[in-house]
Amino acid sequence: MPYSIHDEDGFVEVKVWGELSAFDTMCAVWELRKKDPRKKTPDLWNVSRGCVLPSATFSAIAKMVLAIIPSDKSGRRSAIVVADSSLMAAVEKYTQDVRFAPFETKAFMSRDQAIEWLKAESSPNVVLPSHQPSE
C-alpha cells in the first residue's frame, strides 16, 4: 500500500506516495478512522513530491469523510501538506468540499507550518469556529 500511518508528538501522520487510486486513499482514511473513531487526535496528511492523486479522488474522499466521521462530535483538525504546487488547487478544493465536517481542514506547502497550526488548536487562547452549515 502506498501509505503509512504513525503516531507523532501530538498528532497522527499519514504519509502517501506514488500512484494512489481512490481505493488506496479511502483505505488510508478508513484505517485512520478505525485508529481514532471520534477523531480525538489531529492528523497530518503528508503527500510526497511526485505523488499522483487523480483530482476525482478528492471528491470521493470528501464524500467518504463526511459519511464516516460522526457529525455529532467535534473532531480535531486535519492538515494536508503537499510538496507539489500542482496538487495544491485540488487539495484546496477538497478543503472546501469538507468545510461542513465537524473539524477544520487546511492545506499547506510546509510541514512545519502544518504542525504549528495543528498544535495551535490546543492553545487555551484559540477559539474554534463552529462548522455547522448556515440555515
What's the pLDDT tens digit per position in 75-126?
Answer: 789 999 998 887 888 888 889 888 888 889 999 999 999 999 999 975 443 4
> Residue ranges of the domains in the chain?
3-120
Closest residue by Cα to residue 114 from 83, 68, 85: 83
What's the pLDDT tens digit per position in 31-49?
Answer: 998 988 878 899 999 998 8
Please state the CATH superfamily assignment of the domain spanning residues 3-120 in this structure. SpoIIaa-like domains (3.40.50.10600)
- Residue 127: the pLDDT is 41
From the number of C-beta atoms within 10 Å of its C-beta (0-12, 13-18, 19+), residue 105 rates as buried
